Each structure stands twice: as C-alpha cells, then as structure tokens.
C-alpha cells in the first residue's frame, strides 16, 4: 500500500542508503566477521564451483519496495513498535491505513469510481467505549473525498463513493449504528435469510412512533435480541430476575444455552418489539404479561393477543390472571412452596414475620403477603432467587410461564402433532 506510485518520492533516501552500504563495505570489523563466516560456511557446505559461499552485508536494497518493508510504524504518545501493541490498537491502525489508502486514490477517478470496505468484527480486543466510538465514526464515513472534494463548499452535496459493511456480534456496535442500516442474518429452517430491522414499518404515525421508540430504547442490553434465536419479553425487573431461573428449573438448561434472551420492556412497550418479529424477523418470541384487572389498561393484554394471533407460529402471548408476584404466591401458598415463601418473607420483614407465621401455619394469605412486598418487588425477586438456588424442592412455576417455555422450545407444536 505504501509504495503505490511513489517511486520518484524516495530518490534521496535511495542515495543515502547507497552511501551507507559503501561505508559498511569499508568497515574493518564487518569485513573480519564476513571472512570468518565464509570460512565456516565452506567447511559445513558441499563444494560447488558454480555457487561460491559469498557473504556480504547490505543495509537495504535500493528498490523502493525493499526500503518501505524496513519501515516500522510506531503508535502512541510514547511510541513503541506496533509489534508491541495490543491487538485492539493494531486493528484500529489497520482500519485507518485502509481508509487512508482509499483516500489517496480519490483523485484517480478513472481507476476507482466506487469503494466497498468490509470490516469483520471490528470490536475484537477493543474496550466497550472504544467499540461505540469506532462504530459511530465509521457510520459517518459516507465518502472519502479527494483534496479537491474537501475544498468544495460544505453546503454542496458530495458524491457518496464509499460503502462500509460491518459484520459484528457486539451490542455496543449494534446500538451505535443507525437502525435504518441494521441488517440481521438469521437461519429459517435450512435457509439463511436477512432482514432490515425497519422493514415493514408503516410510514404513518403508528409506524413512525414504533421506530422513534426503538431508536431510543434499544440500548446495549436490549439490542442483544438481534443475536438471539428465541426471545421472552417480560414487563419488569422481577420477571427479568426470576424467569431465567424458572426456565432452568423446568428445562434443566439455561436460556443462554439455547440462544434465548429475556427482554424487560419496562411496562407496556411490547408492541414496539413485536413489530420487528411480525415484519419478518422470524424467531420465536414469547410474551408474559398481566391482565391488569380493574386498571385503565385492563383490555391491553387481550388486544395485544388478538392483534398478533395471525403470527401465532412465531409470537405467543400468555396473560396471567393477577400480577406476577401474586401468581407465584397463589401457586406456592401451601406445602414446600409455603415454607420457601415464608423464608423469603422473613428476610424482607423479620419483625412482621413473627406475627404472620402463627396465622400461616397451613396456608399463606396471598392478599396480606402481597401487601407487604408490593413496594419491594425487586427485593422479593432477589430473595426468592437466592432461596431457590439453595433448595427449589416443591416450588411450583405458574402454568402461564411454563406455557411460554414450551412455546419457545417448540414443545407445544410437538404435542399437537402426536
């Protein structure tokens, strides 16, 4: 890359190297070493009159390409050779060299009219902040202009003559690229397919509202959904903490092991995410949501289920009768489940526990239990998670949650075909 069309630019360097080589030949110490090496080489080599064991020292060949091979790039405020750099810095340096090389050709319009740059996994060996910074700046490289282009007025539209294609497994890269340019490659049965994230969204207000929300909300955590094979969408932090453990208890494997992500949509934003699935990103997606009986949003869950029933092969929505916590208490108000929930209650309310323990000898009163944890749902989830890790014997997972597990695993379809 360095020696392209530069033959005339290194004449002075070639001349200096020629003088240096002459000085090397005149050096007595080097001449002595040369004669000694020749002597030993004659002893260990076969005699061949046509190939004399001639040894000499040469600092560098005068050809430009040989000169440039000897150059060593240094990098940083306290320069060291790139051989001593970390791989991440050298990856950045290589990307810069490629962009610089293309920019140097920008004036040669007859040879290069359009450029495509492919960068595979630029996140390799880079700190997360640097991944984000790199992706944002690469997104700005729409064209690499010549010197004449740079002199044009900033208001004048420049010719876009460069396209950068990035493949990545980094959520930091994903969230730093405009959703309009984001493409997912996924496997549908035996075929590899692609899907532009924003394909299928309406130009009308509803579609644009979905896009606006997604652009704001798809942070590094939630954008991991684009790398998943299956999804579970939940309403809040309690579900996000406990559902993965419930899955492991039921299926004897982790969500990660099947390439599944759990996404906390923080309330009522299911539709924004489900539109991506509906519009062509065909992976299984299960939704766990509350009925919200007696609230203004009471019909929300039913309407959601009705809206996506045409996508039943890829979207399943399960609605619990009560809140997530109440369902857990209801399913575990007796027996071993009761004992476990009492241990959780004791952690959260040790003083109150002494009072309720006497009243809940056979069955937990769900209403009272929930009233005491209603304002500490995340603490309840953490405490229950801790107790389940110690001993989950007798704990019952609510049916509506189990139904979603079966859906994302394909078990429901298997049962129907038996």
Q: Going residue by residue through the chain, which has 418 residues, state the pLDDT in tens, using 9 for 90 and above.
A: 444 545 556 677 667 777 777 787 788 877 777 776 666 566 555 455 555 656 666 665 556 555 555 555 555 555 545 455 566 666 666 676 666 666 555 555 545 567 788 888 888 888 888 888 888 877 776 544 444 444 444 444 455 677 888 889 888 888 888 888 889 988 877 888 899 999 999 888 989 988 888 888 787 778 888 888 899 999 989 999 999 999 999 999 999 999 999 999 886 578 889 999 999 887 899 999 988 665 666 678 899 999 999 999 999 999 998 899 999 999 999 999 999 999 999 999 999 998 888 889 899 999 999 999 999 999 999 999 999 999 999 999 999 999 999 999 986 544 444 4
Do 192 and 241 share a domain, yes or no? yes
Do 411 and 282 share a domain, yes or no? yes
Do 312 and 205 share a domain, yes or no? yes
Unique residue bearing structure tokens 């490659």: 185
d(CA 169, CA 122): 9
Do 33 and 142 share a domain, yes or no? no
Do 165 and 246 share a domain, yes or no? no
Do 265 and 123 share a domain, yes or no? no
- The C-alpha torsion from 13 through 19 and 24 to 28, rounded to 10°, is -160
Phi, psi torsion values for 172, nearest 5 degrees: -65, -40
In a domain, 304, yes or no: yes
Q: Can you read off the two tokens belonging to residue 340?
A: 């476990």
Do 316 and 346 share a domain, yes or no? no
Query: If you count them, how many residues does the chain have?
Result: 418
- Quote the number of domains for the chain: 4
**Residues sharing a CB contact under 8 Å with residue 193, sequence separation 6 or more, in sequence order:** 185, 186, 187, 282
Domain holding 382, by residue range, is: 333-395
In a domain, 379, yes or no: yes
In a domain, 18, yes or no: yes
In a domain, 46, yes or no: yes
**Alpha helix segments (H runs only) across 218-334:** 237-251, 270-278, 300-307, 324-331
In a domain, 290, yes or no: yes
Contact 249, 397 (CB under 8 A): yes
In a domain, 359, yes or no: yes
pTM: 0.70
């Amino acid at each position: 890359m360095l020696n392209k069309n530069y033959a005339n630019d290194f004449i002075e360097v070639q001349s200096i190297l020629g003088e240096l080589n002459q000085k090397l030949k005149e050096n007595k110490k080097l001449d002595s070493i040369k004669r000694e090496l020749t002597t030993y080489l004659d002893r260990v080599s076969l005699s061949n009159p046509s190939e004399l064991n001639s040894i000499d020292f040469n600092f560098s060949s005068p050809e430009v390409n040989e000169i440039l091979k000897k150059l060593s790039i240094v990098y940083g405020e306290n320069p060291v050779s790139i051989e001593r750099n970390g791989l991440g810095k050298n990856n950045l340096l290589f990307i810069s060299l490629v962009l610089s090389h293309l920019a140097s050709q920008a004036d040669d319009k007859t040879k290069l009219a359009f450029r495509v740059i492919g960068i595979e996994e630029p996140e390799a060996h880079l700190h997360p902040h640097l991944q984000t910074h790199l992706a944002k700046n690469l997104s700005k490289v729409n064209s690499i202009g010549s010197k004449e282009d740079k002199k044009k007025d900033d208001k004048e539209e420049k010719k876009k003559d460069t396209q950068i294609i990035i493949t990545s497994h980094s959520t930091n890269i994903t969230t730093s690229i405009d959703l309009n340019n984001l493409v997912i490659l996924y496997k549908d049965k035996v075929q590899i397919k692609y899907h532009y994230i924003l394909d299928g969204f309406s130009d009308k207000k509803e579609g644009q509202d979905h896009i606006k929300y997604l652009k704001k909300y798809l942070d590094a955590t939630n954008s991991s959904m684009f790398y998943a094979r299956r999804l579970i969408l939940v309403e809040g932090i309690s579900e996000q903490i406990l559902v993965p453990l419930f899955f492991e208890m039921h299926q004897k494997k982790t969500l990660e092991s099947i390439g599944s992500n759990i996404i906390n949509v923080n309330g009522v934003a299911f539709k924004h995410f489900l539109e991506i699935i509906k519009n062509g990103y065909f992976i299984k997606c299960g939704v766990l949501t509350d009925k919200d009986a007696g609230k203004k949003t009471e019909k929300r869950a039913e309407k959601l289920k009705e809206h996506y029933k045409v996508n039943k092969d890829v979207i399943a929505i399960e609605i619990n009768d009560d809140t997530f916590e109440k369902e857990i208490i209801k399913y575990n108000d007796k027996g071993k489940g009761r004992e476990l929930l009492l241990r959780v209650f004791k952690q959260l309310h040790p003083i109150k526990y002494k009072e309720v323990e006497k009243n809940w000898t056979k069955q937990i009163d769900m209403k009272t239990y929930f009233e005491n944890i209603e304002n500490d749902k995340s603490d309840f989830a953490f405490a229950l998670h801790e107790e389940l890790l110690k001993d989950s014997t007798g704990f019952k997972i609510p049916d509506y949650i189990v139904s979603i597990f079966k859906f994302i695993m394909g078990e429901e379809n298997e049962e129907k075909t038996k």
